[in-house]
Structure 1
Amino acid sequence: MNDTGVRGTAEQVLALAPDEASRRAGSALGTAGPWSGTGAADGVVWGRCEDGGRTPYRTVVDVRGLAYACTCPSRKTPCEHALGLLLLRAADEAAVPDGAEPPGWAARPVRAQGGAVGAPADPEAARRRAERRAARVTAGAEELERRLADLVRGGLAVAGRQGYGSWEETAARMVDAQAPGLAGRVRELGAILASGPGWPVRLLEECALTHLLDRAWLAADRLPAPLAATVRTRVGIPSAAAGTPVRDRWLVLARYDTGDGRLTTRRIWLYGADGGRTALLLSFGAAGRAPALSLPVGAVVDGELTPHAGAGQLRADPGELVPVPGPAAPPPGGPVGAALDAYGRALREDPWLDSWPVTLARVVPARAEYGWQLADADGREALPLTGGDRSRPGLWRLLALSGGAPVTVFGECGHRGFTPLAAWSPDAPAETVPLL
């Protein structure tokens, strides 16, 4: 990729990332906020990044030779700071001015020899790097354990008086320890303090889950391989798409985006019409840009998906997906009780799971005392809908589709309730109606 190509689009920059975790972290750094002293000259781009470390990281990229240098501890090539700098340059030309005088530390980096940029010199070197990172994560987990112990010893009321600042400082230490998953959980703990009535209960629950993750990491060598892979992913060490590829005719069940202003995450749920497997595809876009992967809800595509390692193995990476004609039936559904059982089994394999994909058959949307719910047609069990009475188009679309009669609904079942994503009516069982 030449200089122009790197600058051209965020998608081309993100294609340089070595893994999904790097794409997410780099996208979060693709805005002007954390950067200072940026510039470009003669195909070299440089800048200093405030990313939670004790001192700004110095990042240099040769955009012609695709070589990278950064003072951060990451051993990935390119690291998230190099990706963030290139994304900033792609999004805002003025943010990285051309023709600037490079500082003394911004020497042109040298491309790694042989193969892909940043390819390990040998497996032994890669093993040693992995061991060094694991040691840093372990030190971070031990420090976080002490922080949680102090919190419980001092009482949750003390946490309420301390405010968010102390949690942000702890999160920065987790960043230094190369454990972004732990850093994210720490920031969520700090955000609970301002989440309204009942925050102490929620804080205690999340502290317990964070403690469980810490202890699981510290004992990862004694865990079953799938659970150990899940723990590595949860602390921030990405899993690879290393399973056996699965070929099928995939029905696109749902597609929706979430974002925080810096990174847009697209989730696409698929169902294998022949094999009965449910899979999740993730795609990311930086600085408000839409993710590249886009499959229309209700379409059927033929191709292979490669599962990631870890408990559940729902997430997968797509190969070439080719649209095929003809409708597809929805996934086989069950009653509310079966959905709760499925979520419970998934939690046994991944206690940090927020939700699990399920399909409910013959359920009716109805108003309850606490908000809206989906109830079995026989009225035995019901699941609350997330969002309560909030007016959202998906709820009204579901009500219109049902008209008081039972329908089939696919969605995500979690501890906060059920989020409906797609539905089918008995009159048109092959027509997928998106709800988000």
Structure 2
Amino acid sequence: MNQQGVRWTADQVLALAPDAASRKAGSRLGSAGPWSETGCGGGDGRGAVWGECKGSGSTPYRTVVDTAGVAYKCSCPSRKFPCKHALGLLLLWASDEEAVQEVQAPPEWAGEWLEGRRKKAEEAQAAPDTATATADPEAARRRAERRAERVTAGAVELEQRLDDLLRGGLAAAEQAGYGLWEETAARMVDAQAPGLAGRVRELGAIPASGAGWPVRLLEECAMLHLLDRAWLGREQLPEPLAATVRTRVGVPVAAEGAAVRDRWLVLAQYDSSDGRLTTRRIWLHGRESGRTALVLDFGAAGRAPGVALPVGLELDAELTAYPGAGQLRAALGERFSGRGSGGCPPEEHSGVAGGADGPPAGVRAADAVAAYGRVLRDDPWAESWPVTLAEVIPVPSGDSWQLADSDGRLALPIAPDALSRPGLWTLVALSGGGPVTVFGECGHRGFTPLTAWAPDGTDAVPLT
């Protein structure tokens, strides 16, 4: 194995693109024609790829990617992350070993950026201790109390608005339009409760969501009412549940506890946007711990989030969990090169390696439903739960689709939102009528497939 481990596949590279336009533009730059001074390696056990891309100006764009990080740097003016040049360079690296060969050291301009990243990582690792030592606990306590008071005032106001809605009848929600909900959401933002604001905006979209919307609106109003009441009575809740309520309301919490180092397999990555903020969700599976973890990153004002990890690769890293009952969110900490947690020598275990071990062990459809049911006891607001399904077959069911156990015992309906995605047809083609392994989110609206593995279990195929 070379110093960088297995090179990425084209699908893994394109899964990093912030949008369809970037995928198309990056694909056009995935050949050797516009590139010069390319190379990969670095000679220090970490992975990097670099090159110069000819553009419209006289000076080529300089692009470098830290594949162990994963991070990108390009001299182009694009606000997208990664830009088309980074995507094109990675596609070239993935497909043409002759065009991007390994060398002992990067050029000076790439080496300076890579070294700067590593120094910042070392400083960031030491920073929490300094912050803890200099922070004023009393001032922090007063700030937390003031915020809690504002959130409480917002929750009380929201309860009154829900009462008014139900008293006037759900039909009034359709007549009022979205403006009333947006005004209420803005009030929740003022109350420093972004979690409540997000749920209010979701309520506003339900009356225009098609047949059966009154039932869905009543369900979501009930869940929002439950969250309001839980916040107002949080002092009587067990601490794990109280932490979950704080998270759902939107009160910031810090990751805590001991960091877990493992070889983390990237199961899925996808973005969602509310027009103001882009949220990137990255699902990870610990090869040795067996844990599943969710890493969140955010991008504002049309910018893509900064963290991007290709589906199907492994990351030798530390994760620190956030508090809360039934919560899987974790903070991505130090990422390593050289000796991994399994004791492998550097040439066999780099910071990012190929997913040669295949997918996690999967479960049957009935087990997936049971797992989601258990998590609802700890977190009633959980919309879904991450599950790997083993030996399931995508089959049509009327106007919809299901994932059926290969033995025919049970079938999970595919969530309505996933039916219109091209990934569904990718899954059907990959299956070819036979059983496959699928990772996704199992929730009250069905199963959302995110990644699938070919029958031999070697290649992870993103479905998002």
Would the TM-score normalized by the shorter structure come out above 0.5?
A: yes
Q: CA 1:270/1:188 → structure 2, altered by over 3 Å: closer, same or farther?
A: same
Q: CA 1:373/1:211 → structure 2, altered by over 3 Å: closer, same or farther?
A: same
Q: 2:292 aligns with which of 278, 299, 319?
A: 278
Greater mean alpha carbon deviation, residues 185-194 or residues 225-234: 185-194
**Partners in 1 of 2:249 and 2:255 — Cα distance?**
18
Q: 1:356 aligns with which of 369, 382, 385?
A: 385
CA contact (8 A) 1:409 1:422 kept: yes
Structure 1 counterpart SS, 2:334: coil
TM-superposition CA deviations, 1:279-320 (whole Å, max 9, x none) = 111122233333221211111111111111112231111113
In structure 1, the partner of 2:237 is 223
In structure 1, the partner of 2:153 is 139
Q: Does 1:407 align with 2:436?
A: yes
Shift of 1:326: 6.0
Q: CA 1:392/1:130 → structure 2, altered by over 3 Å: closer, same or farther?
A: closer
CA contact (8 A) 2:253 2:322 kept: yes
Q: How does 1:6-405 map to 2 (within 5 A)?
A: 122-321=136-335, 322-324=351-353, 327-387=356-416, 390=419, 392-405=421-434
Q: Does 1:430 align with 2:458?
A: yes
Gaps of 5+ in 1: 1-89, 92-114
Q: CA 1:315/1:261 → structure 2, altered by over 3 Å: closer, same or farther?
A: same
Shift of 1:265: 1.9
Shift of 1:207: 0.6
Give the aligned CA root-mean-square deviation in angstroms.
2.4
In structure 1, the partner of 2:34 is none
Q: CA 1:375/1:227 → structure 2, altered by over 3 Å: closer, same or farther?
A: same
**Partners in 2 of 1:403 and 1:318 — Cα distance?**
37
Greater mean alpha carbon deviation, residues 370-379 or residues 315-324: 315-324
Q: CA 1:176/1:256 → structure 2, altered by over 3 Å: closer, same or farther?
A: closer
TM-superposition CA deviations, 1:310-354 (whole Å, max 9, x none) = 122311111133213561231111110100011111122111112
**Partners in 1 of 2:170 and 2:217 — Cα distance?**
8
Shift of 1:238: 1.6
**Partners in 1 of 2:178 and 2:462 — Cα distance?**
38
Shift of 1:248: 0.7
Structure 2 counterpart SS, 1:320: strand
CA contact (8 A) 1:266 1:291 kept: yes
CA contact (8 A) 2:312 2:355 kept: no
**Partners in 2 of 1:389 and 1:305 — Cα distance?**
29
Structure 2 counterpart SS, 1:193: helix
Q: CA 1:161/1:393 → structure 2, altered by over 3 Å: closer, same or farther?
A: closer
CA contact (8 A) 1:331 1:359 kept: yes
In structure 2, the partner of 1:416 is 445
Structure 1 counterpart SS, 2:386: strand
Shift of 1:193: 2.2
CA contact (8 A) 2:312 2:354 kept: no
CA contact (8 A) 1:300 1:327 kept: no
**Partners in 2 of 1:231 and 1:389 — Cα distance?**
28
Residue 407 of structure 2 aligns with an amino acid whose one-letter code is D
CA contact (8 A) 1:241 1:317 kept: yes
TM-superposition CA deviations, 1:180-217 (whole Å, max 9, x none) = 21122222222222222222111111110000000100
**Partners in 1 of 2:446 and 2:332 — Cα distance?**
29
Shift of 1:268: 1.2
Structure 2 counterpart SS, 1:309: coil
**Partners in 2 of 1:387 and 1:155 — Cα distance?**
27
**Partners in 2 of 1:389 and 1:116 — Cα distance?**
46
Identity rate, percent: 70
Shift of 1:390: 4.3
In structure 1, the partner of 2:47 is none
CA contact (8 A) 2:265 2:355 kept: no
Shift of 1:389: 8.7
Shift of 1:226: 1.4
In structure 2, the partner of 1:73 is none
